[in-house]
Amino acid sequence: MPMRVAVCISGRGSNLRALLAALGPAAPAQVVLIISSSAEAGGLVLAREAGIPSVVLAGQRGTSAMHQTLNDHRIDLVVLAGYLKQIPADVVESYRDRIINVHPALLPDFGGQGMYGIHVHRAVLASGKRESGATVHLVDEEYDRGRILAQERVPVLPGDTPELLAARVLEVEHRLLPAVVLAAAREGHPVPIGPSTR
């Protein structure tokens, strides 16, 4: 039986697209549910095209409904892919060590509340750091503080704008997240992966 994966999105869903492309019909993990924090998320179009059930959980109602939705769909792994809301504590508890997130920086640097999307890359450039990258980590009660499962670095180049750096990091995210999901499916739970397994 393949690992049943729920993907949580808030926006265009480029990480969802990359994950769906990496999980062929015989893959040991299958996306069986998409949860969006916004009815306008572009990723919902992907869900419809792929014939995957999707649920919009917006506002406070969404916090308690998430737990029920995950249980109803017998979810084994929750993947946050551009998801901008905090996961309710009851969900973190019930799905301990079974929720992963992709972050567009080298955590623990440039993480935490408010550090999402273009804000991350602006901060990296403002810091003068010569490299950035992407991180996939376990989700716990604090933003971006869970155990790191995978990281991959990219150079910060002279003349970089936040948009150019974001695009370079996003390419890494699109490889790193599927690699971690596939490793989790093979092991039965999320595990750290090194550079060789990508």
- Residue 103 is a catalytic residue: yes
Kindly state whether residue 14 participates in binding ligand GRF, applying the rule CB under 6 A: yes
Q: How far is the CB of 111 from ligand GRF (least distance, A)?
A: 12
Q: How far is the CB of 162 from ligand GRF (least distance, A)?
A: 10
Kindly state whether residue 87 participates in binding ligand GRF, applying the rule CB under 6 A: no
Cα(80)–Cα(103) distance, rounded to whole angstroms? 9
Q: Nearest 5°: CA angle at 99, between 156 and 109?
A: 30
Among 4, 12, 67, 145, which residue interacts with ligand GRF (rule: CB under 6 A)? 12
Cα(22)–Cα(178) distance, rounded to whole angstroms? 6
Site residues (CB under 6 A) for ligand GRF, limited to 139-178: 170, 173
Token output for 87:
């996961």
Strand order in the sheet with 77-80: 54-56, 29-36, 3-9, 77-80, 99-103, 131-138, 148-155
Q: Cβ-count burial of 43 within 10 angstroms (0-12 exposed, 13-18 middle, 19+ buried)?
A: buried
Q: Of 6 and 170, which has the nearer Cβ to ligand GRF?
A: 170
Q: Cβ-count burial of 61 within 10 angstroms (0-12 exposed, 13-18 middle, 19+ buried)?
A: exposed
Kindly state whether residue 11 participates in binding ligand GRF, applying the rule CB under 6 A: yes
Q: How far is the CB of 90 from ligand GRF (least distance, A)?
A: 24
Show the site string, 96-135: x = touches ligand GRF by CB under 6 A, - = not: ------x-x------------x------------------
Q: Of 74 and 179, which has the nearer Cβ to ligand GRF?
A: 179
Residues at the site binding ligand GRF, with contacts judged by CB under 6 A: 9, 11-16, 81-82, 102, 104, 117, 170, 173
Q: Catalytic site residues?
A: 103
